[in-house]
Amino acid sequence: MLFQVGGEGTRPTFFEMAAAQQLPASLRAALTYSLGVFALRRSFLHKILDYEDEFFAALMLILEGHSLRTTDGSFAESLYGLRRKSARLRLRKDSARKDSSEEVQHSGLEKRQRILSVVFLVVLPYFKSKLHAIYNKEREARLRESLWGAEDQGFDEADFFTGDDSIVSREPSGNEELSVRVQLATKIKKFIAVCYPWIHASSEGLSFTYQLLYLLDATGFYSLGLQALGIQVCRATGQELMDTSSRISKIRNHERERLRGPPWLKTVQGALLSCSYAVLDYAQTGLIAAVFIFKMMEWWYQSAEERLSAPTVYPPPPPPPAPKVINQVALSETYVNITQSTLSKFLFFCNRWPKKESLYLQTDPSVLYACKNVQIHQLSLSLDLFSAILAYLSMFQSTSDVR
């Protein structure tokens, strides 16, 4: 199975269509972030952020209308060199092979198709964002009620379909006399909270189906809206771009010729028209540059936060000092010398050791003096044996450490 990713012919690739579809969302995020930063110093910008959906819808209404009127393509599609063409499908039966082939005839967009394109590009996304905001508020209220046990208003699918007005019953007695307008708004919010997940899931499922079929080259329409309007998105050729540029120049010259009034008024009106044309022509480049700057700033601050939040990595400790190498040969020789000297002393004094009974029966002073010397030498022998044992233990410990 082959996917069309090379970009040959007039049919746009899947990645071009996906990038054109995601561009308005990236542009909105960039504008919201920029306004949020500027609002820290200019408080009046908070009013724009309070009506973020309306501000962005008005901006996209101007950009999409101008782009469809001049290039026959949406704001994002014209960035990638794409344009919209009306597709009239006719089925022609082949009597020889008994099959049908699909013939597509392309022409420029009609006025009705331009208006409906603006509706699908601006109006429907605006209502979808408002429905999503209402659903999130109702969902948060329901979560607070389940966590904290507060008597907040929420939505319940079973209560809504059964018709039980649980909200009014949960309200205190002072709020029972609600106006009809507030009750109607509450009912509408409950209906949106119950039905929005199904609507959103159906919309995403249809979008995924059309995108998959477009990727597999099974259809020429990227979305359900394009098929409903009978519009196909094609890659603009060089001749079409030149014709579009000349047509725009003729339209603008004709608008300048229609100016009426004194010369100074015509000059002011001509200057205003030139400024508006320049702003609309370079708005595309400026907004794309804003998206790029936003992505770069997001990456920069995200990297700084990751560096600050990362745990401190200390350098590894230095290795312990190398153990001292003991000369085992000298140690063994010392042990042998100590043992031999101690053993010789022990044997010498054992040979000269008098018998037990002679120590107390002898009365000669010289013999008694010899017995005293024997006791002194006995103490010396004990000390020599103790020193030999210590030397042996120290040698054994040193050899075990070296191993």
* Domain match, 168 and 296 both: yes
- The enclosing H or E element of 212 equals helix 180-215
The answer to whether residue 339 sits within a structural domain is: yes
The answer to whether residue 264 sits within a structural domain is: no
* Domain match, 305 and 332 both: no
pLDDT: is 57 or 363 the higher one? Answer: 57
* Domain match, 208 and 82 both: yes
Domain boundary among 309, 336, 369: 309
* Domain match, 252 and 186 both: yes
Predicted local confidence at residue 65, as pLDDT: 87
* Domain match, 42 and 158 both: yes
The answer to whether residue 322 sits within a structural domain is: no
Q: Convert 268-308 into a string of H (helix), E (strand) and C (coil).
A: HHHHHHHHHHHHHHHHHHHHHHHHHHHHHHHHHHHHHHHHH
Predicted local confidence at residue 385, as pLDDT: 63
Predicted local confidence at residue 272, as pLDDT: 84
Beta bridge partners of 82: 235
**Chain-centre distance of CA 270, in angstroms?**
48
The answer to whether residue 85 sits within a structural domain is: yes
Predicted local confidence at residue 280, as pLDDT: 76
* Domain match, 170 and 212 both: yes
* Domain match, 231 and 125 both: yes
The answer to whether residue 266 sits within a structural domain is: no
* Domain match, 301 and 332 both: no
Say whether 12 sits in a helix, a strand or coil.
Answer: coil
- Mean pLDDT for 200-207 is 92
Give dist(CA 388, CA 386) in Å, integer: 5
Say whether 365 sits in a helix, a strand or coil.
Answer: helix
Looking at the predicted structure, is the pLDDT value of residue 98 above 70?
no
Q: What percent of the chain lies above the pLDDT cut of 90?
A: 6
Residue 356: C-alpha distances to residues 68, 175, 379, 384 (Å): 132, 120, 17, 23
The answer to whether residue 18 sits within a structural domain is: yes
Supply 379's token pair. Answer: 């103490």
Q: Answer whether 176's CB lies under 8 Å from 168's CB.
A: yes
Range of the domain at 296: 14-92+103-257+271-309
362: left (phi over 0), alpha (psi -120 to 50) or beta: beta
The answer to whether residue 139 sits within a structural domain is: yes
* Domain match, 197 and 60 both: yes
* Domain match, 166 and 30 both: yes
Predicted local confidence at residue 360, as pLDDT: 41
Domain count within the chain: 2
- Mean pLDDT for 158-182 is 53
- Mean pLDDT for 354-364 is 44
What lies within 8 Å, CB to CB, of 101 at 6+ separation is 91, 92, 94
Least confident stretch, 93-107, 215-229, 317-331: 93-107
Q: Answer whether 205's CB lies under 8 Å from 222's CB.
A: no
pTM of the predicted model, to two decimals? 0.59
Looking at the predicted structure, is the pLDDT value of residue 35 above 80?
yes
The answer to whether residue 237 sits within a structural domain is: yes
Q: What percent of the chain lies above the pLDDT cut of 70?
A: 62
* Domain match, 286 and 360 both: no
Phi/psi for 231 (5° steps) reads -125, 135
Beta bridge partners of 88: 105
* Domain match, 151 and 278 both: yes
Phi/psi for 163 (5° steps) reads 90, 5
